Amino acid sequence: MKRYEGLFILNTAAKEEGVKEALDKISADITAAGGKVETVQKMDRKPYARIADKKHTAGFYANVIFTSAPAAIAALRSKFALNEEVFRVIFTHSPEPKPAK
């Protein structure tokens, strides 16, 4: 099991409760794929630097730290690509937290 950090940009329509529901679905999908969610950090709504279409000019950013098998990342990436609520997702390796001295 490796530790990953996923940066999600959500397409939800300016509703805070929609963001909470989308993050709950994302956490459930990660758990269903055999991963374990450590933390979910919801950030603010930010405008896009480059607007892909005039329908979506901003998105909610969220950071999810989880542990998972490396083979499950490709499956999660393709699953989130089909999810309409997820505009973009980037998975990176996350280092283990250093113990406090």
Domain that holds residue 34: 17-93
In a domain, 4, yes or no: no
Low-confidence ranges of the chain (pLDDT < 50): none
Domain CATH number, residue 81: 3.30.70.60
d(CA 76, CA 50): 25
d(CA 91, CA 7): 7
| Total of domains in the chain | 1
Contact 44, 61 (CB under 8 A): yes
Give the per-residue pLDDT at 15.
67
Identify the residue whose tokens are 């406090």.
Answer: 100
In a domain, 8, yes or no: no
In one letter, which amino acid is 35? G
Give the per-residue pLDDT at 3.
94
Give the per-residue pLDDT at 74.
93
In a domain, 11, yes or no: no
Give the per-residue pLDDT at 47.
82
Give the per-residue pLDDT at 44.
86
In a domain, 84, yes or no: yes
d(CA 58, CA 50): 10
Q: What pTM does this model have?
A: 0.85
